[in-house]
Amino acid sequence: MLKTTIAGAISVVILSGCSTFDVESARLSTAEIQATLTEDKAVLTRDVEPLTGPLTLNEAIARALKYNADRRYRAMEEAVAMGSFEAGQFDMLPKLIASAGYRNRNNDLITRSTDSVTGRPSLANPYISSSRTAITSEVGISWSLLDFGQSYYAARQNADRVLIAGERRRKALHNLILDVRTAYWRVVAAQKLMPALRATITESEQALKDARKAEDDRIRSPLEPLRYQRQLLENLRLLETIEQELSTARIELATLTALPLATDYTVVEETTDINTAWLSQPMDKMEEVALLRNPDLREGIYNARIAQKETRRTLLKFFPGLSFNYGYKRSDDDYLIHQNWTEAGAQISFNLLGLLSAPAQMRLADAGVALADRRRMAIQMAVLSQLHIARLQYANTARQYERSDAIAQVDVRLAQHVANQASAQKQSALDRISQQSTAVLSQLRRYQALSNAQAAASRLQATLGMEPTVEATADMPLSTLTAAIGKSLQTWDQGVLPESGSRP
């Protein structure tokens, strides 16, 4: 009767508990979502120094390294990998186990005995050999040789994963610097060209209204106003395309540097010459540096080492398991003569049926090693290809910038001459607006070429694995970090390859 009552009570509790949980009760509320978003925003903006003046390129890169959300994520990813490595090392230690228990019976444990010779029940009365209640405790140590071997190779794999996280952080650093340099020069172009661009659009729209009015008045042949309108509309389309392209650059740079998206900031147009010193470096030396320092290739080597260690872990599964244990035990059972005792033991075990899967597991492990090796070789060829392409792009963009700069200077002078002649009524308004549009477009192409050259330099730098060597960016003051970034970029502009034995 008591058992039935207890079972019924447990069933009621389980059923009532299940009935209180459903999908709707687990759905996030609006308040919970808002609270999470507010907390995330506070974390992202915490300790971010406000911008107090014009933004320089060095400070933009420094802000990105210190405050960028993706950069923080990569740093946290590396910290988690390090934590896994440190925690995994404890798995190699013996297990120290402490346990305690309590038992209670509603009646005595009464047993009978049988004569081992005659097979008949013993004439003695049944006897009690255990108390109704007892408290037991145990402290013991246990160590398995097989578990130690598995934990040892797992720890070495975790060490390689820490290094892989570091290489991924380096790659993210390369991409971040590339994005910041590209976006920065686009903002410079927007800041320089937007006033002239909008003034030219306003003048073009006014001239278009005048042309339509002249067509309606039929002062001239209808073909001439239509051709005039067609040219103006083409200029407006081109100018509006440029405006649309430049309008997003400020938000992109603010996102990368953790500035408020609605902030109105200015950037410094630094005097920058495209340095072609890297083009004089021997290609074989650049290939050597790229293969030694490229983060993708180094990650491939670490992955190959992990696959090799996984093969050894697989081999350990086929060895007998040898374990040792030693413990101190205590029980307050009144029927025990010795209520305290120590116990030691050793055990060996072997899974005979596991041998059936041995060939398949070894083939799988060997295939993993071969796959990692092939992937590393493919990455090596890809790195060499990327290096040659990056160097070629750097040379091409440097020449394109020089050409675009010369064209922009000529178009600016042409626009000034045409504007002067239009003021003297020797040129039409259409000629002035067209030449002004051409000058703005040439200026844009100049800045685009400069941005592409900066991006090509960053891409070549990333392929060579030459990121700024700045440690502890999270703890370094922004001003100090900015100075370190400037020094690193100056070193890069010198076009000097690092020593073969230097480490990234």
Highest-scoring range by mean pLDDT, 48-62, 193-207, 390-404: 390-404
Q: Sorting pLDDT into bands at 50, 70 and 90, what band is 422?
A: confident
What pLDDT is attached to residue 32? 79
Q: For residue range 49-65, what is the model confidence (pLDDT) as tens digits?
A: 888 888 888 888 888 88
Helix (H) or strand (E) segment spanning residue 184: helix 145-217
| Phi then psi dihedrals of residue 324, to 5 deg | -130, 150
- State the DSSP string of 356-413: GGHHHHHHHHHHHHHHHHHHHHHHHHHHHHHHHHHHHHHHHHHHHHHHHHHHHHHHHH
Q: For residue range 279-318, what is the model confidence (pLDDT) as tens digits?
A: 888 888 888 888 888 888 888 888 888 888 888 888 777 7
What pLDDT is attached to residue 501? 54
- DSSP three-state, residue 104: strand
What pLDDT is attached to residue 1? 47
Q: Is the pLDDT of residue 352 over 80?
A: no
- Mean pLDDT, residues 386-414: 89
Determine the Cα–Cα distance for residues 388 and 386; give it in Å rounded to an integer. 6
- Which residues are CB-neighbours of 72 under 8 A, at least 6 positions away? none
What pLDDT is attached to residue 12? 53
394's tokens: 């750097």
Q: Sorting pLDDT into bands at 50, 70 and 90, what band is 112?
A: confident
Q: Sorting pLDDT into bands at 50, 70 and 90, what band is 342?
A: very high
Give me the torsion for CA of 75, 81, 86, 88, rounded to 10°: 170
Residue that has been written with the tokens 């076009």 in this structure? 495
Q: For residue range 3-38, what is the model confidence (pLDDT) as tens digits?
A: 455 555 566 555 555 555 566 677 777 887 888 878
Q: Which of 70-79, 141-150, 212-221 has the lowest mean pLDDT?
A: 212-221
Q: Of all residues in the chain, what percent carry a pLDDT higher than 70? A: 86
Determine the Cα–Cα distance for residues 461 and 190; give it in Å rounded to an integer. 26
Residue that has been written with the tokens 């992109």 in this structure? 252
- Mean pLDDT, residues 64-75: 74
What pLDDT is attached to residue 14? 56
- DSSP three-state, residue 325: strand
Q: Sorting pLDDT into bands at 50, 70 and 90, what band is 2?
A: very low
**Contact of 243 with 193, CB cutoff 8 Å:** no
Q: For residue range 469-494, what is the model confidence (pLDDT) as tens digits?
A: 666 566 678 888 888 888 887 777 77
Q: For residue range 142-180, what is the model confidence (pLDDT) as tens digits?
A: 888 888 888 888 888 888 888 888 888 888 888 888 888
Q: Is the pLDDT of residue 328 over 90?
A: yes
Q: Of all residues in the chain, what percent carry a pLDDT higher than 90? A: 3
| Number of other residues whose CB lies within 10 A of the CB of residue 399 | 14
Q: Is the pLDDT of residue 395 over 50?
A: yes
- Mean pLDDT, residues 493-500: 71
What pLDDT is attached to residue 500? 58
The mean of the pLDDT values for the chain is 80
